[in-house]
Amino acid sequence: MKQSVRILLDSLIDYAGLFPPAGLSMPVAVRNYDEYRRSEHAWALGRFIVPVARLEELDDASADEEQTGFLQLSVLAGDDIDADVRAIEGRHEIESIELKAADKKAIERAAKAIGGAWMTYVEVSDLALLDTIRKRGMRAKIRTGGVTPDAIPEPEHVGAFIRACVDRKLAFKATAGLHHPLRCQRALTYENDAPLATMHGFINLLMATALPRLATEILAETDVASFDFGHGGAAWRGERVTVEKLMSVRRDFVTSFGSCSFTEPIDELKELDWL
């Protein structure tokens, strides 16, 4: 494996098997996560994503496994952040909280309730709110897809988000629609009659963050030959990125992305001979 690939993929994929389009049951999702953490590609696995309302169900499912306490959780909070914080207090396996915020007041309210006890990712549509997120010591979150074509943002929007985070030195994660390494047209669900749409690629996202001035162009790239990964760094269309820069991309900016499949991204990376 090339050093650049290992750096970019380390603990990158947060497992969201409970969510569409997979929509697995809790026991199956927990069993999958346990299997992935024992696999040869466990180093690429991140957290298990679970809604706060399903924590008790998670406890029942994980208690049936041979080992308990193996879950590393990121919890999706709901509308009542104060109640959600009370529900998760004392749970040592929770590493982060994820929530949506429509305005500055919602961010401030969440910051007060959480009090810095957990790393918190805030999903916003208004990029002006990134200043408040940074001020409160939180991290940003962007939705990059969904199960309908209209849920997929244009490269221009994602590029603007990346540049805004880089300018603010603000770490972020992405969620939804990033099953594939490169931008491509695929079915949005696993149903036979699923709609087709052009989906974002997580390699595009990572390299766009490494080269933010070219972010929109890189996000729109579909040609695998445009990317090069080696032991000394990576490149897009001759634009070189050092190993140190790639490490900064992961340490300071793209912390992870949520995917309802762990095997699909891994298998496609193998097909591209990048893994």
Instruction: Give the pLDDT confidence score for residue 49 in this predicted structure.
Output: 98
CATH label of the domain that carries residue 114: 3.20.20
Is residue 68's pLDDT more than 90? Answer: no
* Token representation of residue 266: 């891994």
- Average pLDDT of the segment spanning 169-185: 96
- Output the average pLDDT for the chain: 95
Range of 89's domain? Answer: 3-271
pLDDT band, very low/low/confident/very high, at 66 (cuts 50, 70, 90): low
- The Cα 121–Cα 133 span in angstroms is 9
Going by their DSSP bridges, the two strands 45-51 and 13-15 should be labelled as: parallel
Three-state SS sequence of 64-96: CCCCCCCCCEEEECCCCHHHHHHHHCCCCCEEE
Please tell me the distance from the alpha carbon of residue 172 to that of residue 242, in angstroms, as a whole number.
Answer: 21
pLDDT over 70 for what percent of the chain? 98
CA dihedral 109, 46, 176, 3 (to 10 degrees): 120
- What pLDDT does residue 92 have? 87
Domain count, the chain: 1
pLDDT of 70 > 90? The answer is: no
Residue 234 CB coordination number (10 Å): 27
What would the two tokens of residue 114 be? 């959480």
What is the rounded distance in angstroms from the CA atom of residue 63 to the CA atom of residue 88? 18
Q: Can the peptide bond before residue 21 be classed as cis, meaning omega within 30 degrees of 0?
A: yes
3-state SS, residue 131: helix
Q: Is the pLDDT of residue 33 over 80?
A: yes
Q: What is the residue type of 79?
A: D
Question: What does the chain come to in residues?
Answer: 275
pLDDT at 67 over 60: no
